[in-house]
């Protein structure tokens, strides 16, 4: 991702600084200001992000347990990793996570893109309704998850009631049924985050200059062709960026789902992060959980980088 | 970027109507859960679990009273011996054969959310502004790597980072303290803050500062007097994002706080478990917690939109 | 204006402080007691007022709902937190509390103050106070005895038309179930039945996934069917005990009950959800801890003669799941002296009697050996019966790890309907073996 850093603005200053000896400007020199301005952030990030990360990597090779401080800590080598990768259960958590990520992304892209195209028609009142659509994504996922357990109640919940009203299927147990629970979390996530995809698509749409459409009209392109050859290529980078951000977030998903289903029924919605929390803070297998954390981090990082490469190709 | 910007090749009137109907339809459906939350907060507990769900009901403040108090069940004889209720909320509670035994912890948790939310937002924006300015204007060794490093810190699942932070905080005595949470949220928000703000600084022509320096300002004065005022919109947008994150954060708060510094998000779900399923109280807590965010969203939508789409637009 | 006002305020404050100084000194002492948020906790607040009146120590309480209780409080203990001076920790924590040094060992204190564990129900001492089990190392004073029992709708059981229908359908008189087979029959009979114009369901049982719910529920069936954790106590030889044919039969029974006879959406229910289902008239039976029975007996909807109580039915043997807690002094507290003072006060026979009268389950002999005790409430006799054959989950220091494994395997099988009972228990042994190996016990 680093090749995106916009460096153009700093180049003149940099080359200028190189040519001349330090200017006789009053006050702090530029170098001092730069150090002074950046250092606190870097120090904080080192202390609260990087140092912990390195510590996690170290712990992942040990049998350390945070709740038994007196216990001897042994170096296990890659045993924690071997155990994790050999565990059927861990694969099922990753599968549940993949199901969640893939389906939320597909559905949200479909609805979000559609909404963006509609909002872009600029009908009267569009800004007001767009703002209303945005509200769910501003809310606290944990609080949302809690409340959706109420909306999903098969007997008293409004969700089941509305579905029953339109389909006549009777009470629907979204959270308790093995078949429906994975979709229950997809629905809530879609409700919350479709607006985000919509917004980024909208940003993409607004970046398309009108003359392209005018040219298309001159060429007598149909609406489908216009969409396929002009709109889609232009918004694709925006859309992919939105999917990248949301994909990472959903891969890490914890709060909303833990409050909604706590991983159940059985382990059908036990996403990787939920299991990680159980291993780390309920079972207190700190070393093992650290190994799991490292695996998840590497996975996100790896997938993210592959994706960014693809994104760059699309942009070119 | 503003939503009102017109950049469409004119849609037909019919197309506009269809679009409006579909978008408004979606907006209305999306509002149902929210309206339901607010409505439930004004229901009585029996109304909240009736079937079919009640759309029309006698509104009551019981949920809010229950949210802010702890109560215990007593025999009617005992309640009668206490004499007439002193306040309207006493009376409300006594109708359920209960008496108020004290305030609940909700107000304290809410205050914690405010303190930690605003504290960390201030710090993240402050540090972010400095770093963004430096990254934008100066030659910084390994700049690209540093910027990428700052961004990549956001890829760690919070639960994963929580393990060593928990250990570290335990050693330092920062577990369950406001300071610990403020520092943590600052660190998490910093990546976003630096990236967003750098974009805003990049947009400010550097000629302004050069002119100021020629006029005899020091570099620092030029930053404070010339650049900062121009960054106002960007700072506002960034601050909203940081605040919303800190306000809504759950995983760290759940794992690192308990009695003293716990914020509202991990507290609201456990209202459910205190003496029966009290959905109106949960709904009341949810409503009070969501109101500031909704108000923010509506009032500051332009800055918000700018912030959300910023990274994308700039590329 | 402002300054005059402020000066007056300051003067008033000063005067106030001077006058109240002695009282304020006494009020400076404070203790925080941590427990679960449930009915008995309210009773304890009431009871503790006497302690504050006598000693001048103000009592603060930190009550957490059961589903978050272990999570929150074990986290607190593990991080060496000073939030709690006194902890009424769950029975399974005693091993960890003792081994990891969270709890203060109380033997010397007991000796000094003349408190003896002979004054308490033996089962309670074993379960709540001693570690290792059966030893005389005490890390808590038994505070609250508890077990899982059952509540039923006595009024429905007594109605002639319902009794007739039961006789016709099942071929025997409707009565309080004595065995798990009978229990399922009764639940099945009520499932989906119209009573007073509303659809009713069989039983509200424990199925919660997140903390300990389904384990507490399932073991209620496993123990009576003869389930054991080890073949030889202390050897951790689980194969053949945990997955014995008896255990499989018990687990299948529980699943049968869950599938046939619970209200819709009952896939994640623990104490409060069960209470709600029962109190709102949805179910004929409810599995729950005795701790809630005083509240049910007083309930405006189902209190009085509406509800009856019975001990967990047997299958091969009589057994109940143990609940209940001991009260411990937290090793990280700065106020251990005051905390011990509280325990000394709490152990007095008169205080224990009042504790029972307020709705707490005292396990002091002065209370339970009183001849009038079994008749004192509709559930006191059942309580004593249940306490005589309680069984507890592992109390190992690593109990949380063992519990989480069981939560997963049981929920996977009972609620999510994956695999067979035999497979679920086999996998459980695998999980537990790994845990014990890690812990150096195997």
Which residues numbered 255-314 in B keep a CB inside 8 Å of some CB on C? 255, 258-260, 270, 272-277
Alpha-carbon gap, residue B88 to B263, rounded angstroms? 29
Architecture of domain A81-315: Orthogonal Bundle (1.10)
Rounded to an integer, the average pLDDT of C187-204 is 95
Alpha-carbon gap, residue C375 to C381, rounded angstroms? 7
Alpha-carbon gap, residue B19 to C382, rounded angstroms? 67
Task: Write down the pLDDT at residue B309.
Answer: 63
Alpha-carbon gap, residue A145 to A184, rounded angstroms? 10
Reported residue count of chain A is 316
| Lowest model confidence (mean pLDDT) among B71-85, B174-188, C204-218 | B71-85
- A220: how many CB neighbours lie within 10 A of its CB? 7
Express as a percent the part of chain A with pLDDT over 90: 50
Rounded to an integer, the average pLDDT of A72-84 is 92
Alpha-carbon gap, residue C241 to B246, rounded angstroms? 50
Q: Between chains, do A147 and B37 touch, taking CB under 8 Å as contact?
A: yes
> Mutate which of B163, B183, B208, B265 to disrupt the A interface (most A C-beta within 10 Å)?
B163
- Could you tell me which of C252, C229, C253 has the C-alpha nearest to residue C179? C253
Contacts of B162 in chain A (CB under 8 A): 280-281
- C79: how many CB neighbours lie within 10 A of its CB? 22
> Mutate which of C210, C269, C410, C437 to disrupt the A interface (most A C-beta within 10 Å)?
C210
pTM of the model: 0.89
Q: Treating both helix axes as pointing N-terminal to C-terminal, what angle do A51-59 and B158-172 enclose, rounded to 10 degrees?
A: 100
Alpha-carbon gap, residue A206 to A208, rounded angstroms? 5
Q: Distance (Å) from the C-alpha of residue C177 to the closest C-alpha of chain B?
A: 27
In chain A, the residue whose alpha carbon lies closest to the alpha carbon of B251 is: A255
pLDDT above 60 (res C306): yes
- Could you tell me which of A85, A48, A77, A83 has the C-alpha nearest to residue A60? A77
Q: Between chains, do A138 and B244 touch, taking CB under 8 Å as contact?
A: yes
Task: Write down the pLDDT at residue A26.
Answer: 59
Q: Which helix (H) or strand (E) holds B300?
A: none
Alpha-carbon gap, residue A134 to C131, rounded angstroms? 56
Only one residue has tokens 């099988």, namely: C413
pLDDT tens digits for B266-308? 999 888 765 567 899 999 999 999 999 888 888 887 777 776 6
Contacts of A155 in chain B (CB under 8 A): 51
- Could you tell me which of C77, C92, C73 has the C-alpha nearest to residue C131? C92
In chain C, the residue whose alpha carbon lies closest to the alpha carbon of A274 is: C210
| Lowest model confidence (mean pLDDT) among A289-298, B128-137, B158-167 | B158-167
Task: Write down the pLDDT at residue A25.
Answer: 53
pLDDT above 60 (res B210): yes
Touching check for B164 and chain C: CB below 8 Å? no
Which CA distances in Å does C289 have to C117, C148, C178? 24, 4, 18
DSSP B189-256: HHHHHHHHHHHHHHHS-THHHHHHHHTT--HHHHIIIIIHHHTHHHHHHHHHHHHHHHHH--HHHHHH
How many residue pairs bridge chain A and chain B with CB atoms within 8 Å of each other?
A: 352
Q: Between chains, do B276 and C63 touch, taking CB under 8 Å as contact?
A: no
Which residues numbered 267-296 in B keep a CB inside 8 Å of some CB on A? 268-269, 272, 279, 282-283, 286, 289-290, 293-294, 296
Contacts of B259 in chain C (CB under 8 A): 62, 76, 81, 83
Q: List the helix and strand counts (H, then E) for chain C.
A: 20, 12
> Mutate which of B259, B265, B266, B281 to disrupt the C interface (most C C-beta within 10 Å)?
B259
CA dihedral A260, A265, A266, A270 (to 10 degrees): -30
Q: Between chains, do C401 and A284 touch, taking CB under 8 Å as contact?
A: yes
Rounded to an integer, the average pLDDT of B208-226 is 88
pLDDT, averaged across chain A: 86
- Could you tell me which of A257, A280, C72 has the C-alpha nearest to residue B254? C72
Assess contact for A40 and A258: CB atoms under 8 A.
no
Rounded to an integer, the average pLDDT of A154-178 is 89
Q: What are phi and psi of B233, to 5 degrees?
A: -60, -45
Of residues B97, B258, B277, nearest to C276 (C-beta) = B277
With cut-offs at 50, 70 and 90, classify the pLDDT of residue C4: very low
With cut-offs at 50, 70 and 90, classify the pLDDT of residue A275: very high
Strand duo C30-36 + C58-64: pairing = parallel
Task: Write down the pLDDT at residue B273.
Answer: 61
With cut-offs at 50, 70 and 90, classify the pLDDT of residue B9: low
Q: DSSP class of residue A270?
A: -
Of residues A123, A158, A206, nearest to B19 (C-beta) = A123
Q: Distance (Å) from the C-alpha of residue C249 to the closest C-alpha of chain B?
A: 32
- Between A273 and B7, the more confident residue is A273
List all chains that touch chain C, counting a touch as 3 or more CB pairs closer than 8 Å.
Answer: A, B
Task: Write down the pLDDT at residue B107.
Answer: 94
Burial classification of residue B312, based on how many CB atoms lie within 10 Å of its CB (0-12 exposed, 13-18 middle, 19 or more buried): buried
Burial classification of residue C23, based on how many CB atoms lie within 10 Å of its CB (0-12 exposed, 13-18 middle, 19 or more buried): exposed
pLDDT above 90 (res A206): no
Alpha-carbon gap, residue B300 to B30, rounded angstroms? 20
Architecture of domain B107-309: Orthogonal Bundle (1.10)
| Lowest model confidence (mean pLDDT) among B69-78, C240-249, C421-430 | B69-78
Q: Distance (Å) from the C-alpha of residue A179 to the closest C-alpha of chain B?
A: 23
Rounded to an integer, the average pLDDT of C198-205 is 94
Task: Write down the pLDDT at residue C142.
Answer: 96
Of residues B37, B139, B296, nearest to A14 (C-beta) = B139
> Mutate which of B79, B272, B273, B285 to disrupt the C interface (most C C-beta within 10 Å)?
B273
In chain A, the residue whose alpha carbon lies closest to the alpha carbon of C282 is: A155
Q: Distance (Å) from the C-alpha of residue C277 to the closest C-alpha of chain B?
A: 10
Which CA distances in Å does C304 have to B93, C17, C152, C309? 22, 50, 12, 12
Q: DSSP class of residue C314?
A: B
Express as a percent the part of chain C with pLDDT over 70: 94
Cβ within 8 Å of residue A271, ≥6 positions away:
A93, A96, A97, A100, A253, A254, A257, A263
pLDDT above 50 (res C192): yes
pLDDT above 80 (res C188): yes
Contacts of B175 in chain C (CB under 8 A): 79, 81
Contacts of B153 in chain A (CB under 8 A): 45, 49-50
> Is the previous residue joined to A244 through a cis bond, with omega within 30 degrees of 0?
no
Rounded to an integer, the average pLDDT of A36-50 is 90
Task: Write down the pLDDT at residue C81.
Answer: 84
pLDDT tens digits for C325-339? 999 999 999 999 999
Alpha-carbon gap, residue C276 to C396, rounded angstroms? 33
pLDDT above 60 (res C105): yes
Q: DSSP class of residue C133?
A: T
Task: Write down the pLDDT at residue B276.
Answer: 67
pLDDT, averaged across chain B: 86
- Could you tell me which of B19, B93, B81, B33 has the C-alpha nearest to residue B278? B93
- What are C288's strand-pairing partners? C149
Alpha-carbon gap, residue A73 to A66, rounded angstroms? 11
Cβ within 8 Å of residue B54, ≥6 positions away:
B43, B47
Task: Write down the pLDDT at residue C13.
Answer: 41
Cβ within 8 Å of residue C153, ≥6 positions away:
C284, C285, C302, C306, C307, C308
Q: Tokens for C396, please give them.
A: 């190992």
Q: Between chains, do B276 and C64 touch, taking CB under 8 Å as contact?
A: no
Sign for the CA dihedral angle at B36, B39, B44, B47 comes to negative
Task: Write down the pLDDT at residue A192.
Answer: 95
Which residues numbered 298-357 in C keep a CB inside 8 Å of some CB on B? 298, 300
Assess contact for C117 and C111: CB atoms under 8 A.
no
What residues does CATH 1.10.3720.10 cover in chain B? 107-309
Q: Distance (Å) from the C-alpha of residue C298 to the closest C-alpha of chain B?
A: 8
With cut-offs at 50, 70 and 90, classify the pLDDT of residue B315: very low
Of residues B75, B258, B275, nearest to C72 (C-beta) = B258
Contacts of A36 in chain B (CB under 8 A): 130
List all chains that touch chain A, counting a touch as 3 or more CB pairs closer than 8 Å.
Answer: B, C
Task: Write down the pLDDT at residue B275.
Answer: 59
Rounded to an integer, the average pLDDT of C328-354 is 95
HEC sequence for B248-274: HCCHHHHHHCCCCCCCHHHHHHHHCCC
Per-domain residue ranges of chain A: 2-49, 81-315
Of residues C45, C62, C273, nearest to B101 (C-beta) = C45
Q: Between chains, do C210 and A263 touch, taking CB under 8 Å as contact?
A: yes
Chain centroid to CA C38: 10
Burial classification of residue B118, based on how many CB atoms lie within 10 Å of its CB (0-12 exposed, 13-18 middle, 19 or more buried): middle
Rounded to an integer, the average pLDDT of C225-251 is 95
Rounded to an integer, the average pLDDT of C165-173 is 95
Burial classification of residue B167, based on how many CB atoms lie within 10 Å of its CB (0-12 exposed, 13-18 middle, 19 or more buried): buried
Q: What are phi and psi of C203, to 5 degrees?
A: -140, 145
Task: Write down the pLDDT at residue A305.
Answer: 84
HEC sequence for C398-412: CHHHHHHHHHHHHHH
In chain C, the residue whose alpha carbon lies closest to the alpha carbon of B266 is: C68
Q: Tokens for C132, please give them.
A: 């290792």
Q: Tokens for C233, please give them.
A: 């106590």
List all chains that touch chain B, counting a touch as 3 or more CB pairs closer than 8 Å.
Answer: A, C
How many residue pairs bridge chain B and chain C with CB atoms within 8 Å of each other?
A: 59
HEC sequence for B36-56: HHHHHHCCCHHHHCCCCCCCC
Assess contact for C437 and A290: CB atoms under 8 A.
no
DSSP B112-179: HHHHHHHHHHHHHHHHHHHHHHHHHHS--TTHHHHHHHHHHGGGS-HHHHHHHHHHHHHHHT-TT-HH
- Could you tell me which of C436, C414, C418 has the C-alpha nearest to residue C222? C414
Rounded to an integer, the average pLDDT of C91-99 is 91
Please calculate the CA angle C338-C343-C345 and round it to the nearest 5 degrees. Answer: 90
Touching check for B55 and chain A: CB below 8 Å? no
In chain A, the residue whose alpha carbon lies closest to the alpha carbon of B148 is: A2
pLDDT above 70 (res C3): no
């Amino acid at each position: 991702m680093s090749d995106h850093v916009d460096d153009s603005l700093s180049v003149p200053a940099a080359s200028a600084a190189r040519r001349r000896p330090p200017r006789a400007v009053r006050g702090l020199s530029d170098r001092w200001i730069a150090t002074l301005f950046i250092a606190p952030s870097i120090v904080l990030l080192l202390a609260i992000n990087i140092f912990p990360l390195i510590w996690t990597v170290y712990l992942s090779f040990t049998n350390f347990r945070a709740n038994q401080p007196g216990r001897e800590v042994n170096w296990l080598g890659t045993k924690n990793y071997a155990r994790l990768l050999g565990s059927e259960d861990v694969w099922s958590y990753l599968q549940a996570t993949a199901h969640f990520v893939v389906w939320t992304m597909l559905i949200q892209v479909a609805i979000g893109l559609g909404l963006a195209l509609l909002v872009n028609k600029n009908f009267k009142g569009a800004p007001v309704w767009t703002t209303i659509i945005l509200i769910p994504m501003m809310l606290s996922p944990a609080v949302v998850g809690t409340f959706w357990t109420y909306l999903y109640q098969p007997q008293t919940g409004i969700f089941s009631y509305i579905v029953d009203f339109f389909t006549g299927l009777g009470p629907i147990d979204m959270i308790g049924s093995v078949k429906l629970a994975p979709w229950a979390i997809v629905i809530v996530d879609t409700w919350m985050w479709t607006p985000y995809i919509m917004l980024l698509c909208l940003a993409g749409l607004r970046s398309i200059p009108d003359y392209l459409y005018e040219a298309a009209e001159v060429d007598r392109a149909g609406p489908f062709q216009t969409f396929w050859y002009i709109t889609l290529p232009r918004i694709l980078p925006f859309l992919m960026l939105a999917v990248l951000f949301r994909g990472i977030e959903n891969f890490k998903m914890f709060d909303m789902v833990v409050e909604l289903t706590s991983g159940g029924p059985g382990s059908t919605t036990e996403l990787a992060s939920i299991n990680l929390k159980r291993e780390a803070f309920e079972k207190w297998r700190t070393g093992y959980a650290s190994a799991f954390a490292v695996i998840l981090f590497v996975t996100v990082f790896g997938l993210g980088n592959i994706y960014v490469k693809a994104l760059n190709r699309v942009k070119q | 970027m503003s939503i009102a910007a017109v950049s469409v090749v004119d849609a037909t009137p019919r197309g506009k109507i269809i679009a409006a109907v579909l978008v408004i339809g979606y907006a209305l459906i999306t509002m149902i859960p929210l309206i339901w939350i607010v409505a439930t907060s004004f229901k009585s507990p029996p109304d909240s679990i009736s079937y079919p769900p009640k759309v029309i009901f006698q509104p009551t403040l019981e949920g809010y009273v229950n949210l802010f108090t702890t109560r215990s069940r007593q025999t009617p004889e005992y309640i009668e011996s206490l004499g007439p209720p002193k306040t309207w909320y006493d009376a409300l509670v006594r109708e359920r054969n209960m008496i108020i035994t004290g305030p609940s912890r909700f107000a304290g948790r809410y205050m914690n959310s405010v303190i930690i939310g605003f504290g960390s937002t201030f710090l993240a924006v402050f540090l972010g502004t400095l770093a963004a300015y430096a990254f934008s204007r100066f030659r910084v060794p390994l700049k690209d790597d540093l910027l990428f490093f700052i961004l990549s810190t956001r890829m760690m699942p919070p639960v994963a980072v929580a393990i060593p932070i928990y250990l570290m905080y335990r050693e330092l005595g920062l577990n369950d303290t406001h300071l610990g949470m403020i520092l943590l949220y600052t660190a998490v928000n910093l990546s976003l803050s630096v990236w967003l703000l750098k974009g805003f600084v990049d947009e400010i022509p550097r000629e302004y500062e050069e002119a100021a320096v020629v006029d005899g300002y020091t570099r620092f004065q030029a930053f404070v007097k010339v650049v900062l005022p121009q960054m106002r919109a960007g700072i506002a947008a960034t601050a909203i994002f940081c605040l919303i994150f800190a306000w809504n954060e759950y995983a760290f708060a759940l794992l690192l706080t308990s009695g003293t510094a716990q914020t509202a998000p991990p507290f609201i779900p456990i209202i459910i478990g205190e003496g029966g399923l009290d959905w109106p109280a949960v709904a009341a807590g949810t409503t009070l917690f969501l109101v500031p965010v909704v108000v923010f969203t509506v009032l500051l939508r332009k800055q918000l939109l700018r912030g959300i789409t910023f990274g994308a637009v700039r590329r | 204006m402002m300054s005059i006002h402020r000066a007056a305020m300051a003067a008033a404050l000063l005067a106030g402080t001077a006058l109240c100084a002695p009282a304020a000194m006494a009020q400076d002492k404070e203790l925080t007691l941590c427990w679960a948020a449930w009915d008995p906790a309210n009773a304890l607040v009431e009871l503790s007022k006497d302690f504050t009146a006598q000693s001048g120590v103000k009592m603060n309480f930190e009550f957490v709902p059961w589903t978050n209780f272990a999570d929150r409080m074990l986290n607190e203990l593990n991080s060496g937190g000073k939030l709690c001076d006194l902890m009424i920790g769950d029975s399974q924590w005693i091993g960890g509390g003792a081994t990891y040094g969270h709890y203060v060992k109380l033997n010397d204190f007991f000796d000094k103050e003349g408190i003896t564990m002979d004054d308490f129900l033996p089962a309670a001492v074993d379960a709540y106070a001693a570690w290792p089990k059966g030893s005389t190392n005490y890390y808590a004073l038994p505070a609250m005895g508890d077990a899982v029992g059952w509540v039923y709708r006595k009024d429905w059981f007594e109605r002639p038309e319902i009794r007739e229908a039961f006789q016709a359908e099942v071929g025997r008189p409707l009565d309080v179930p004595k065995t798990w087979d009978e229990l399922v029959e009764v639940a099945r009979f009520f499932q989906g039945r119209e009573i007073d114009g509303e659809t009713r369901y069989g039983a509200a049982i424990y199925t919660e996934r997140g903390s300990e719910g389904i384990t507490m529920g399932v073991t209620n069936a496993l123990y009576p069917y003869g389930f054991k954790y080890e073949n030889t106590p202390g050897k951790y030889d689980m194969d053949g005990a945990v997955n014995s044919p008896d255990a499989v039969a018990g687990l299948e029974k529980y699943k049968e009950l869950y599938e046939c006879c619970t209200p819709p959406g009952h896939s994640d229910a623990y104490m409060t959800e069960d209470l709600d289902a029962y109190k709102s008239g949805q179910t004929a039976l409810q599995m729950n801890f005795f701790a809630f029975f005083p509240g049910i007996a007083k309930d405006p909807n189902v209190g009085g003669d509406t509800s009856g109580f019975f001990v967990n039915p047997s299958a091969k043997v009589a057994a109940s799941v143990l609940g209940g807690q001991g009260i411990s002094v937290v090793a990280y507290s700065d106020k251990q002296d005051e905390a011990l003072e509280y325990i000394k006060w709490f152990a007095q026979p008169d205080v224990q009697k009042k504790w029972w009268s307020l709705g707490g389950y005292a396990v002091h002999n002065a209370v339970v050996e009183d001849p009038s005790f079994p008749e004192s409430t509709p559930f006191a006799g059942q309580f004593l019966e249940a306490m005589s054959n309680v069984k507890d989950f592992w109390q190992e220091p690593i109990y949380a790890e063992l519990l989480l494994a069981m939560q997963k395997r049981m929920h996977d099988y009972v609620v999510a309907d994956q695999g067979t009972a035999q497979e679920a228990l086999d996998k459980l042994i695998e999980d537990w073996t790994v845990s014990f190996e890690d812990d150096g016990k195997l």
